């Protein structure tokens, strides 16, 4: 009589890994799209802002740097999540796990802090127009300082991240995931480090929201004042229709004299256009920040949930597992949609984009 074959633990682990990988296929496809659209969009932004803008603008200084960081984040963070999706419970390469986790943290944090620097610049530009602004040297140093500080802050993750066991009691098999691990036999250091990173992330969100609330209030006040001035001017022009014919003749005579007020009017119009363009850029960066907040909060929630119990998703349904992994990587969308926001708000960028596309076609 034939004896029943007993599956080896390795075979059961492979079956478990393949089943979860199939469940995560929708998120895997989404991550591939993140890489494609993130690279295409941000590369176009870098090319247009660096090589097609004839007059460099101080207000747009940070955009190419942000686009470069966004493209790096799309590739690194999406690739890290793809490897996890292909090896959801059989991740055994500790070096790859540490490297991708540190680089993902570096890319994501650099993008977030770059938004904070931009918010500070917009705050100075809109809310403190008569105070000293960021010089070109200060802007370059702020970018360099941000990258170096984030790299140093991400380095400890090399020690707090590694291969951790995960057990499915129903299958009676142990798998391995890339997650937070003990340091020198204790979870105290990883806990403190992750708590510190979480505090910095939340603090950065609060700073961004506070700065843009003040910027939004200032812009709203200016628009309201401008409407009031325009309404007053309309009233004055309508009342001038009842002036006597002698005054009308006199005014027409004055208008025939050399135009001494035209330069002043032209300067006012030019100044008003510059202010409106500055307000549009501020609103553009506000929308970028709002997208970042909306995309990052679900990711932050998933990270906290996963850090508290890495086995929590074992008891979830397939749709819940996909939802959890999608929330975990949702922050990458922030690095993809920025070129769309640039095209919507920045008329000069949109004009150069259409010109470039027409040349290609």
Spatial separation of the C-alpha atoms in residues 159 and 101, rounded to whole Å: 11
User: Which is higher by pLDDT, 192 or 277?
Assistant: 192
- In Å, how far from its chain's centre is CA 144? 18
What are the tens digits of pLDDT across the range 211-229?
Answer: 888 888 887 787 776 666 6
User: Which is higher by pLDDT, 18 or 265?
Assistant: 18
pLDDT at 74 exceeding the cut of 60: yes
The pLDDT-based confidence of 102 (bands split at 50, 70, 90) is very high
In a 10 Å sphere around its CB, with 0-12 CB exposed, 13-18 middle and 19+ buried, how is residue 282 labelled? buried
The pLDDT-based confidence of 81 (bands split at 50, 70, 90) is very high
Long-range (24+ apart) CB contacts under 8 A made by 102-106 are 102/154, 102/155, 102/157, 102/158, 102/161, 103/76, 103/154, 104/73, 104/76, 104/77, 104/80, 105/154, 105/157, 105/197, 106/150, 106/151, 106/154
Average pLDDT rounded to a whole number, residues 5-18: 78
Percent of the chain surpassing pLDDT 70: 78
pLDDT at 337 exceeding the cut of 90: no
Please tell me the predicted confidence (pLDDT) of residue 71.
93
Average pLDDT rounded to a whole number, residues 259-266: 51
The pLDDT-based confidence of 348 (bands split at 50, 70, 90) is confident
**Does residue 313 contact residue 324 with C-beta atoms inside 8 Å?**
yes
Lowest mean pLDDT among 24-28, 81-85, 174-178, 299-303: 299-303
What are the tens digits of pLDDT across the range 14-43?
Answer: 898 999 999 999 999 999 999 999 999 899
Please tell me the predicted confidence (pLDDT) of residue 1.
39
User: Which is higher by pLDDT, 250 or 213?
Assistant: 213
Please tell me the predicted confidence (pLDDT) of residue 83.
93
Please tell me the predicted confidence (pLDDT) of residue 334.
85
**Does residue 61 contact residue 139 with C-beta atoms inside 8 Å?**
yes
Cβ neighbours, 10 Å, residue 174: 13
The number of C-alpha atoms within 13 Å of 279 and in the hemisphere containing its C-beta is: 14
Torsion of CA 218, 223, 229, 232, to 10 degrees: -130
Please tell me the predicted confidence (pLDDT) of residue 302.
78
**Does residue 89 contact residue 166 with C-beta atoms inside 8 Å?**
yes
Please tell me the predicted confidence (pLDDT) of residue 352.
82
Spatial separation of the C-alpha atoms in residues 266 and 175, rounded to whole Å: 72
334 Cβ partners below 8 Å, 6+ apart? Answer: 70, 111, 288, 291, 292, 295, 296
Please tell me the predicted confidence (pLDDT) of residue 263.
53
Residue with tokens 């951790």: 164
Please tell me the predicted confidence (pLDDT) of residue 95.
93
Please tell me the predicted confidence (pLDDT) of residue 272.
53
Handedness of CA 36, 42, 48, 51 (dihedral sign): negative
User: Which is higher by pLDDT, 98 or 129?
Assistant: 98
Spatial separation of the C-alpha atoms in residues 213 and 301, rounded to whole Å: 24
Please tell me the predicted confidence (pLDDT) of residue 318.
82
Smallest CA-to-CA distance from 280 within 337, 348, 208, 354 is with 348
The pLDDT-based confidence of 154 (bands split at 50, 70, 90) is very high
Please tell me the predicted confidence (pLDDT) of residue 166.
86
Please tell me the predicted confidence (pLDDT) of residue 278.
58
Alpha helix (H) residue ranges in the chain? 9-23, 25-47, 62-86, 94-127, 136-154, 157-160, 188-239, 245-255, 262-308, 318-328, 332-345, 347-360
- Kindly report the average pLDDT of the chain as a whole number: 79
The string of DSSP letters for 47-110 reads HIIIII-SS--GGGTHHHHHHHHHHHHHHHHHHHHHHHHHSSSB---HHHHHHHHHHHHHHHHH
In a 10 Å sphere around its CB, with 0-12 CB exposed, 13-18 middle and 19+ buried, how is residue 26 labelled? middle
What are the tens digits of pLDDT across the range 232-245?
Answer: 655 555 555 544 44
Domains of the chain are 9-240+271-360 (1.20.1070.10)
User: Which is higher by pLDDT, 233 or 329?
Assistant: 329
Which of 74-88, 193-207, 337-351 has the largest mean confidence? 74-88
Please tell me the predicted confidence (pLDDT) of residue 312.
63
Smallest CA-to-CA distance from 171 within 91, 85, 89 is with 89
Average pLDDT rounded to a whole number, residues 190-207: 87
Spatial separation of the C-alpha atoms in residues 182 and 166, rounded to whole Å: 14
**Does residue 221 contact residue 312 with C-beta atoms inside 8 Å?**
no
Which of 70-84, 119-133, 159-173, 270-284 has the largest mean confidence? 70-84
């Amino acid at each position: 009589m034939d004896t029943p074959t007993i599956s080896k633990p390795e075979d059961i682990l492979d079956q478990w890994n393949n089943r979860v990988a199939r469940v995560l296929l929708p998120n895997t496809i989404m991550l591939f799209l993140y890489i494609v659209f993130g690279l295409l969009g941000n590369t176009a932004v870098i090319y247009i802002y660096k090589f097609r803008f004839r007059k460099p603008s101080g207000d747009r200084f940070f955009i190419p740097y942000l686009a470069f960081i966004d493209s790096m984040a799309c590739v690194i963070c999406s690739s890290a999540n793809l490897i996890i999706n292909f090896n959801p419970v059989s991740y055994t390469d500790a070096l790859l796990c540490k490297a991708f986790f540190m680089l993902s943290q570096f890319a994501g944090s650099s993008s977030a802090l770059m938004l904070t620097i931009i918010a500070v610049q917009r705050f100075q530009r809109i809310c403190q127009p008569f105070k000293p602004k960021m010089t070109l040297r200060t802007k370059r140093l702020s970018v360099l300082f941000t990258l170096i500080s984030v790299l140093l802050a991400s380095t400890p993750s090399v020690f707090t991240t590694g291969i951790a066991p995960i057990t499915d009691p129903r299958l009676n098999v142990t798998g391995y995931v890339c997650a937070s691990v003990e340091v020198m036999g204790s979870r105290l250091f990883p806990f403190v480090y992750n708590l510190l990173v979480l505090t910095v992330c939340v603090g950065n969100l609060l700073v961004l929201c506070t700065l843009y609330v003040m910027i939004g209030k200032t812009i709203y006040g200016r628009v309201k004042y401008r409407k009031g001035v325009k309404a007053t001017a309309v009233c004055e022009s309508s009342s001038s229709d009842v002036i006597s014919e002698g005054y009308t003749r006199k005014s027409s005579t004055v208008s025939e004299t050399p135009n001494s007020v035209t330069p002043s009017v032209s300067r006012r119009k030019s100044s008003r256009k510059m202010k409106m363009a500055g307000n549009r850029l501020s609103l553009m960066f506000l929308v970028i920040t709002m997208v970042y907040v909306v995309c990052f909060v679900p990711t932050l929630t998933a990270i906290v949930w996963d850090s508290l119990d890495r086995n929590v998703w074992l008891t979830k349904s397939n749709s819940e597992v996909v939802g959890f992994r999608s929330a975990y990587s949702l922050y990458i969308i922030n690095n993809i949609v920025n070129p769309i926001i640039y095209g919507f708000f920045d008329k000069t960028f949109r004009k150069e984009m259409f010109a470039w596309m027409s040349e290609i076609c």
